[in-house]
Every structure is written in structure tokens, then in C-alpha cells.
């Protein structure tokens, strides 16, 4: 209760702050060749990418706070057009799309905001952020010198800029917005449009500037950005990037710290040593603004995932995981990196460019030094004797190197950068990770018994407790189920009918088979085939209510052997989308479903061209003013809203273990919310493919596709990273856990509804809690003193007081948990890694007792890495290392015991 009241007070305080009109004293933002100039001062800025719709508003304050604690100065987000204007002229700025609230929360935290309006965003988001109704506007061509498109784009961009101005959210109004973006990676496809593309870039810049936002605009990946627009870099590495004018600063709008994932794919992982190397090299070589894409990836709730075939999770191997938990050591190592860069900021902003010194064949130094008093630095002239900061880089992918800089030797690990804020003492090296590792666990939490079902709890044969043994079910009709349908000659394009109101579209026709056809097949030992030129994303083929084949892919050809009965046969085709295309030129022409001809081969009289047959569809009408869909599309259960509690139109029946379901079935049950505050996940490993809802909230698509068994080799951080390096999760389902935000749950009787397409066992579904229960760290005597103490030492650009400071191991538990036990501790020469530590030949006998005394029962602790702390030197002449593994649990109960 105390924790809840504390959270409530914090939440109410934030809400009060959000309602205030001004978050800062109004300031202007300009720029020169070196950096953005905030209120007259050059700044080195760290930005954290967070997409507000990929979390809930209740999650936003914590995500922003953890970003700030991690060293961010700026939050960056796209603006999602299709979420804000689902119907032309009808706007949505509520719930997860409450952009104003999100921006105000950023301002109330003391951070700046970079708003990437686009309005094309890519972002692995459905249709790249474009509303699907946009493609229905006559004569429209997206993202080129096309009048209908430019009119719609200008209207929406103007809407967003005016909204931000009305809410006084620009810097010159006292708000947090310091920078905007128009278009997005257009340079990748500009040549496709020829002269029209070049004219469009110029128009977009003029249009944006005409809105009078009063802050700089950027275009990422746009080498021909006009003079008054900053062009910026998006890549894994941007240390060699130069803008297209010497008057513009070097900005990195997307540092890809992970990558997105497709169904059936392996999970990408970018080692934090390489990520830190890339960031340090960027600032080393003149960069001034860097944004992590993503700092928090989040979740593609509902049908927002793009693609096709991108999974529901958008975790992105980010410093904050999909559930909002810190991903260690990535978050902690980057936090130290940011602190080191901030210590160098006085020198970085004072020097117009660094001095380059070659130290070896693959070793170099960049020195930022000035004898001039830098504007904005709080030093009196009597205190100022010049400022100097240096980055030492070893870009060799294999070998460490010893270099001499200013008569002092430095050992540089391979593929690393050392940061010397005072040009003498190293405070950080990108390859030497001192941050703890947090092991994320997904554990079962047994729900309370529901009042709706007498025996909600169930223990499976493997000892795992499942969500419920009481399930209800109803079959989804395999047909054009609505009486409101229409019949036309030929095949209609999928999106022209559904308008993306559903993944699903039924096509129905009748095939007549004569006795002569059957005899012809028997005599010639042939079978008829259904041939379709091109299909995307999924096709399911039914004859007389029975499924006979499937096809999956991006515009794949289909050749399916069929079996017909004499007389009339019902041929049903079901096409499905799994996220609309989000990248590339001519998105308006991409579409989905069936392209080209459909024919039946092998008939006695020859092939039958079904492209000219009569096909029946459920009725759909387009309002030509608002471009909204009127009518019935998709599944019956979608139309009748089986996923909401108030629905009384469905004929639900009890599900038993021996019931064989049709390929398409709906399931529902109730469950109680797990106790505590840990994030909640649904384990859907027992299911096939479909969609899930909790209390009417669409959790997203699920699909239990398994990734290839090969390709997950041991990861080496050294060397250039790409999305095929350091892959994980080989031979396992790509995604089995699905985030259920706490704010979508009530204490008891939460409604879970599943739509299953290919078959699965709902009795095996369980609710899990995601938490970081195990923490580990490993630190040696040769590591650097803690950056927090160096920052607090009052460093003012002069030489650091580093000689008398010892390295320290810092351990902490997340989200209010405490260190309940130390399961391993060894000071000396420990072996192994997290969860497999072992003692080496050298071990201080006091290791476990000293670490337990310092840490047990606390939320965080620091341990000095020294012989003195552990009562003496356990082995002379050897560099000692401390390795610790600890367990985090909920705080102790009133009787002193821990809740496990």
C-alpha cells in the first residue's frame, strides 16, 4: 500500500506539472557548423528514441525518467499520421496517441524533445505511418511532386505544428521542442521519382519553414537538403558523416542499437561494446547530436506492426526493453559513456574542430583544446587555464595496442575508444564494461480463483500452472458470412475492399465439375490445379468448407492441387495481411491479396480463367468525403466484437479437451491480475497464429513460427556490426510472450479473448511476470573509478583527481526490489560468467561475507575493488577481480522474510 501511495503521489505530481504552461524559461535554438545552440550555448546532446504509441500513457513517465537517469538530454519521437487521423478530417489525440501529453511529460522532466513529423515515418509501422485512406484520393502519388499528396501532407503537418504552438510547446514559448523533422530517409528513394523527387524535396523544405515553428528542421538521409534544412545521418556508424554544408552541425538522428524482427526470424543483438564504440567515435570526430533508435522500442499493439511479417514485439535490443525494464549491461554502460562525454562537453563546444594525431597504423587521437574562455562555462578568468579533452581510438578489430600520448602510455583494447576529459586520465573505455548484467526472467504467477469460473487454476503435466481450465469457444464461419454482400466479375484488390479495417478478406465463387471432368482425371491420372499469379501476405484455400492449401510470402506464385466433387463446388479464398508495407517508393500501389490471373488447370475442356468469374465479397462502401469504410469486412467475430465483455450476440459454448475445432475458432476465459508491480506477459507458445485481446484491448498478432536452427554463432563485439551479426534464439519460436500493460488490467476477472487461425491449445496459455531477478557483475582492480564520483568531484576541465580513487562495483535491483541474497562472490581470480561463476586459484575468504554485509537487504550497494576492503591481498602480484551474483526480490514482509 505504501508503494502504491508513493506511486500515486508521484503520478499526481507529474500530472500537475504537465498542466503547467511553461517548462523552461523561453529560449531560442539555432545552430552553427559545430552544434545546436541552445539559449546561446553550443551543446553536445544525447537523445533517446521513444515512440509514444508503443507504450501506454501510464508507462510514459517511467520511460522518460529512466532515459534521463541514463544520461539523455532529449527524447525523440515520430508522429504517427495513421494513428492521429484514422479517418480523413477526424483526429485522434487521445490515449496512446495523446501527443500533447507526451510532449508535456518530456518537458516536465526537464528534457528537450525532437519531433519527427515526417509525416512518412517508416518505423516498421503499418503502411509507414500513412493512413490507408490516403491511397484512395484520386490521382495521388506518395512522396513526390504530386499536388493531391502535397495538399494532404501540408494539411497534416500544419495541424501538428499548430497544435504544438497552441499548447506552447516550442522552445521559444518555454516548451521542450528544440527541433523538427520533415520527410524521412527520402534520399533512399528520391532517384525513383526523377525530377519530381528533387522538386518535392525543395517544396517540403519551403512548406515546413513557412509554418513558423521557430526551431530548426532536419531531413535525415537527404544529401540534397536545402541550405536552411539540416541533413543528418541514420546508420550503425556515423563518425564519418559530413553534412552537405559547412554551416550545418553533424547530427545522427538514428543510431541503430538493435534491429527489428520478422516472424520466423532470429533475434538480433548489438553488443554494447560496439554500440559505445560507435557513439564515442561520433563525438570524437566532430559529432554533436546522437539519438538511439531505439532507446525504448516497446510493442506494436493491435495491428500497428508494419512489414509485412514484422513481429508484435518492437524490443529492438534497446537499453529499455519492451516492458520498460533496464536492459543491462547496455543501459548502465551507455550511462557511463554519456557521463564521460558530458565531462568533455566544455572542450567539445569550445573548440571548432579537433586536432588529429596519428598514434599508430590503426590508432589515433582527436584532441579538443582551447586556451580561450568558452562562452557559457561557469569559470572565472582567474580559474581558467585552458580546457583539453581527448579521445584515443584503436580501430584494429583484433589486437590491443599500447600508444603514447603526451609522454604517457595507454593500453587500448581492440575496437575501442578511451575518453580522457582532462587529456591525461582515462575515465571510460568503450570495450571495458563495468555495469552489472541483469538476467531477465519470465516467471509464472498463479492468478487468484475467478468468480466466473469455479476452477480457474490448473497444473499441467510439466508442473506449470496455466491461466485457466475453463474456456469458452465459438467457431468463425468459413464463408462470406454476411447477408450484406455483393458479387462482381473478377478479383478485387484486397485493400480496395478492406481499407485495412481487418487483416482478412473472403473471396467466394462456385465451380461446376462434370462427370466427364472426373472421368478425364481418372483416365489420365491427373488432378486439377489452382494457379494464382501472385499472392501476398497469406492465402488460405478452401473447397467445400475444407482447407486444402496455404501460401505465405511477398507476391509469391501459387500452384495448389485441388480435389473437386461432381456438381457444384464452393471455392473460398481467404487472403490475409500481416502488416502493410512500410518502406519503399510507390506505397500507394503496393496493395495486398491477389494479383494477376487465377485459373484452374486440368479440366477436360481446358483451363478455366477464374479471373473472369463472378466472385462474392462482403459489402464495403467508401465515403468519398472522409474516405472512411462503411459496411462489413473481415471476420464475423471482429464485426460482432467478440472481444468485449458487453457482447451478447455470440453463442459461446464450453470448450472441452476432446473437441476438435475448425481451423478458425474464438476462445475466451477470465483471469485475475498477478500481484505486485512486475510487467505482465501472456505466454502463447501453445497457440498457432492469430490475435489476442485483454479487456477489449488488442494485444497484437501472435504467430508461433520457429527460427532457423543455424546462424547463432558466438558473438564477438569487435568489428563492423550489421543486422546478421550476433543473432540469438536459433531454433526457437520468434515470439511467445506478449506484453499486457498493467493499466489494461483490473484486479480480477480480466477477459482474455483469442482468435486462432491454424490450431492451438488454449488450455496451455499462462500469465507470466517479467523481471530482472538475477544480477551479476565482474570488475577488476584495473578498472576506472566510478564516473559518478568523478562528476561529483567538481571537475571543471582541469586535471582529474583520479590517483587516490579506487574502482567500485555498483549493484542494484530494479523497480523497488531489494538484494535478498548473494549467491556467489569471489575476490581474486574468479572464472566463468554470469550464472556460471566459479572460484579460481586465488580467492579472498571474506568475499561472500563482505559483499553480503554491504549489499544484502538493500536496493543498491557499492563495493570497493581493493585489498583493503577484503582484508588483505589474497595473491600478490596478480590483478584481482571481483565477481558477484545476487538475487533480487520484493522488499521484506513485516516479519522480515522475503517474498520469493
Do residues 637 and 668 lie in contact, with contact meaning Cβ atoms separated by under 8 Å? no
Q: What is the C-alpha to C-alpha distance for residues 299 and 792, in angstroms, rounded to an integer?
A: 37
Q: What is the C-alpha to C-alpha distance for residues 811 and 856, in angstroms, rounded to an integer?
A: 11
Q: What is the C-alpha to C-alpha distance for residues 494 and 504, in angstroms, rounded to an integer?
A: 9
- Which grid coordinates are listed for 184? 524521412
By C-alpha distance, which of 242, 581, 278, 305 is closest to 430?
278
Rg of the chain, C-alpha, whole Å: 30
Q: What is the C-alpha to C-alpha distance for residues 729 and 741, in angstroms, rounded to an integer?
A: 24
Compute the Cα dihedral for 521, 527, 531, 537 and give only its sign: positive
Do residues 310 and 554 lie in contact, with contact meaning Cβ atoms separated by under 8 Å? no
Cα atoms in the 13 Å half-sphere on the side-chain side of 169? 28
Sort residue 613 into left (φ over 0), alpha (ψ -120 to 50) or beta: beta
Give the residue carrying C-alpha cell 568533455: 344
Q: What is the C-alpha to C-alpha distance for residues 559 and 557, in angstroms, rounded to an integer?
A: 7
Query: Measured in Å, how far apart are the chain's first and last C-alpha atoms?
Result: 18
By C-alpha distance, which of 15, 151, 163, 167 is closest to 84?
163
By C-alpha distance, which of 96, 97, 105 is closest to 16?
105
Contacts with 378 (C-beta within 8 Å, 6 or more apart), sequence order: none
3-state secondary structure 439-480: EEEEEECCCCCCCCCCCCCEECCCCCEECCCCCEEEECCCCC
Give the residue carrying C-alpha cell 545552430: 31
Burial tier of 559 (Cβ tally within 10 Å: 0-12, 13-18, 19+):
exposed
Q: What is the C-alpha to C-alpha distance for residues 25 and 378, in angstroms, rounded to an integer?
A: 19
- Which grid coordinates are listed for 181? 523533422
User: Which residues are identified as catalytic?
Assistant: 185, 254
Q: What is the C-alpha to C-alpha distance for residues 367 and 284, in angstroms, rounded to an integer?
A: 8
SS3 621: strand
- Which grid coordinates are listed for 307? 512489414
Give the residue carrying C-alpha cell 510532449: 103
Residue 83 CA to chain centroid, in angstroms? 17
Contacts with 105 (C-beta within 8 Å, 6 or more apart), sequence order: 14, 18, 60, 61, 64
Do residues 59 and 7 lie in contact, with contact meaning Cβ atoms separated by under 8 Å? no
By C-alpha distance, which of 288, 392, 271, 289 is closest to 334?
271
By C-alpha distance, which of 438, 127, 159, 134 is closest to 300?
127
Q: Cα separations (Å) of 567 from 138, 543, 564?
A: 44, 13, 9
Give the residue carrying C-alpha cell 504517427: 80
Q: What is the C-alpha to C-alpha distance for residues 421 and 413, in angstroms, rounded to an integer?
A: 19
What's the full length of the chain, in residues? 900
Q: Do you find a cis peptide bond into 444, omega within 30 degrees of 0? A: no
- Phi/psi at 898 (5° precision): -100, 145
Q: How many CB atoms lie within 10 A of CB 214?
A: 15
Helix (H) or strand (E) holding 344, with range, is helix 330-350
Give the residue carrying C-alpha cell 462482381: 488
Helix (H) or strand (E) holding 277, with range, is helix 272-284
Amino acid at each position: 500500500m505504501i508503494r502504491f501511495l508513493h506511486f500515486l503521489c508521484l503520478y499526481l505530481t507529474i500530472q500537475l506539472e504537465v498542466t503547467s504552461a511553461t517548462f523552461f524559461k523561453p529560449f531560442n535554438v539555432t545552430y552553427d557548423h559545430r552544434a545546436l545552440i541552445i539559449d546561446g550555448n553550443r551543446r553536445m546532446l544525447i537523445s533517446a528514441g521513444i515512440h509514444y504509441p508503443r507504450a501506454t500513457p501510464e508507462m510514459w513517465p517511467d520511460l522518460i525518467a529512466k532515459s534521463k537517469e541514463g544520461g539523455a538530454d532529449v527524447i525523440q519521437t515520430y508522429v504517427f499520421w495513421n494513428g492521429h487521423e484514422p479517418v480523413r478530417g477526424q483526429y485522434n489525440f487521445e490515449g496512446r496517441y495523446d501527443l500533447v501529453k507526451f510532449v508535456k511529460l518530456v518537458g516536465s522532466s526537464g528534457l528537450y524533445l525532437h519531433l519527427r513529423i515526417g509525416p512518412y515515418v517508416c518505423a516498421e509501422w503499418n503502411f509507414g505511418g500513412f493512413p490507408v485512406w490516403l491511397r484512395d484520393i484520386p490521382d495521388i502519388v506518395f512522396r513526390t511532386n504530386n499536388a493531391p499528396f502535397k495538399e494532404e501532407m501540408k494539411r497534416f503537418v500544419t495541424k501538428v505544428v499548430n497544435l504544438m504552438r497552441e499548447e506552447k510547446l516550442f522552445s521559444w514559448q518555454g516548451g521542450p521542442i528544440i527541433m523538427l523533422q520533415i520527410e524521412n530517409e527520402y534520399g533512399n528513394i528520391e532517384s525513383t521519382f526523377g525530377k519530381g523527387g528533387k522538386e518535392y524535396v525543395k517544396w517540403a523544405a519551403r512548406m515546413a519553414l513557412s509554418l513558423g515553428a521557430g526551431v530548426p528542421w532536419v531531413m535525415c538521409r537527404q544529401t540534397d537538403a536545402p541550405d536552411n534544412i539540416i541533413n543528418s545521418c541514420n546508420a550503425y556508424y556515423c563518425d564519418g558523416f559530413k553534412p552537405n554544408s559547412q554551416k550545418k552541425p553533424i547530427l545522427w538522428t538514428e543510431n541503430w542499437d538493435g534491429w527489428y524482427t520478422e516472424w520466423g526470424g532470429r533475434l538480433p543483438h548489438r553488443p554494447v561494446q560496439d554500440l559505445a564504440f560507435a557513439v564515442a567515435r561520433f563525438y570524437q570526430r566532430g559529432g554533436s547530436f546522437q539519438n538511439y533508435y531505439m532507446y525504448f522500442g516497446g510493442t506494436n499493439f493491435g495491428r500497428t506492426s508494419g512489414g509485412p511479417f514484422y513481429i508484435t514485439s518492437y524490443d529492438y535490443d534497446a537499453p529499455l526493453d519492451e516492458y520498460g525494464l533496464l536492459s543491462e549491461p547496455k543501459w548502465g554502460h551507455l550511462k557511463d559513456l554519456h557521463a564521460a562525454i558530458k565531462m568533455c562537453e566544455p572542450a567539445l563546444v569550445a573548440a571548432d574542430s579537433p586536432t588529429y594525431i596519428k598514434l599508430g597504423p590503426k590508432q589515433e587521437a582527436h584532441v579538443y583544446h582551447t586556451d580561450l574562455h568558452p562562452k557559457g562555462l561557469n569559470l572565472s578568468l582567474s580559474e581558467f587555464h585552458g580546457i583539453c579533452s581527448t579521445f584515443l581510438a584503436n580501430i584494429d578489430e583484433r589486437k590491443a595496442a599500447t600508444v603514447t600520448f603526451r609522454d604517457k602510455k595507454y593500453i587500448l583494447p581492440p575496437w575501442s575508444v578511451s575518453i580522457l576529459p582532462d587529456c591525461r586520465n582515462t575515465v571510460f573505455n568503450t570495450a571495458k564494461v563495468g555495469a552489472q548484467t541483469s538476467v531477465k526472467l519470465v516467471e509464472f504467477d498463479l492468478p487468484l480463483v475467478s468468480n466466473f469460473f469455479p476452477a480457474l487454476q490448473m497444473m499441467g503435466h510439466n508442473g506449470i500452472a496455466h491461466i485457466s481450465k475453463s474456456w469458452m469457444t465459438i467457431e468463425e464461419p468459413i464463408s462470406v458470412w454476411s447477408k450484406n454482400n455483393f458479387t462482381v466479375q473478377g478479383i478485387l484488390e484486397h485493400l480496395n475492399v478492406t481499407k485495412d479495417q481487418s487483416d482478412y478478406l473472403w473471396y467466394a465463387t462456385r465451380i461446376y465439375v462434370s462427370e466427364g471432368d472426373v472421368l478425364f482425371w481418372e483416365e489420365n491420372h491427373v488432378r486439377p490445379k489452382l494457379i494464382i499469379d501472385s499472392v501476398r501476405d497469406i492465402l488460405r484455400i478452401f473447397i467445400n468448407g475444407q482447407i486444402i492449401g496455404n501460401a505465405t510470402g511477398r507476391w509469391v506464385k501459387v500452384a495448389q492441387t485441388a480435389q473437386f466433387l461432381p456438381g457444384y463446388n464452393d471455392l473460398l479464398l481467404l487472403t490475409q495481411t500481416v502488416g502493410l508495407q512500410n518502406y519503399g517508393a510507390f506505397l500507394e500501389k503496393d496493395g495486398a491479396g491477389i494479383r494477376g490471373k487465377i485459373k484452374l488447370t486440368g479440366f477436360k475442356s481446358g483451363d478455366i480463367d477464374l479471373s473472369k468469374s463472378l466472385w462474392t465479397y462482403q459489402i464495403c462502401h467508401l465515403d468519398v468525403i472522409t474516405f472512411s469504410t462503411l459496411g462489413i469486412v473481415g471476420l464475423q467475430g471482429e464485426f460482432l466484437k467478440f472481444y468485449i465483455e458487453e457482447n451478447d450476440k455470440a453463442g459461446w459454448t464450453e470448450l472441452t479437451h476432446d473437441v476438435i475445432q475448425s481451423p478458425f475458432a474464438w476462445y475466451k476465459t477470465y483471469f485475475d491480475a498477478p500481484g505486485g508491480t512486475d510487467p505482465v506477459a501472456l505466454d502463447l507458445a501453445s497457440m498457432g497464429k492469430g490475435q489476442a485481446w485483454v479487456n477489449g484491448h488488442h494485444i497484437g498478432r501472435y504467430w508461433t513460427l520457429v527460427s532457423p536452427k543455424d546462424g547463432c554463432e558466438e558473438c564477438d563485439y569487435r568489428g563492423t556490426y550489421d543486422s546478421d551479426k550476433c543473432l540469438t534464439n536459433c531454433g526457437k519460436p520468434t515470439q511467445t510472450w506478449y506484453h499486457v500493460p498493467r493499466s489494461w488490467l483490473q484486479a480480477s476477472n480480466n477477459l482474455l479473448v483469442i482468435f486462432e487461425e491454424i490450431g492451438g491449445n488454449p488450455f496451455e496459455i499462462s500469465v507470466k511476470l517479467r523481471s530482472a531477478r538475477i544480477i551479476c557483475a565482474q570488475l577488476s582492480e584495473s578498472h576506472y573509478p566510478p564516473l559518478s564520483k568523478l562528476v561529483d568531484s567538481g571537475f571543471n576541465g582541469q586535471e582529474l583527481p583520479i590517483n587516490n580513487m579506487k574502482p567500485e562495483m555498483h549493484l542494484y535491483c530494479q523497480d523497488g526490489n531489494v538484494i535478498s541474497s548473494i549467491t556467489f562472490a569471489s575476490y581474486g581470480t574468479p572464472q566463468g560468467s554470469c550464472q556460471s561463476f566459479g572460484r579460481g586459484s586465488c580467492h579472498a575468504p571474506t568475499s561472500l561475507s563482505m559483499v553480503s554485509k554491504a549489499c544484502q537487504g538493500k536496493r543498491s550497494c557499492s563495493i570497493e575493488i581493493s585489498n583493503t576492503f577484503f582484508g588483505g591481498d589474497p595473491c600478490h602480484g596478480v590483478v584481482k577481480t571481483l565477481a558477484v551474483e545476487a538475487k533480487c526480490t520484493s522488499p521484506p514482509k513485516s516479519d522480515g522474510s522475503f517474498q520469493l
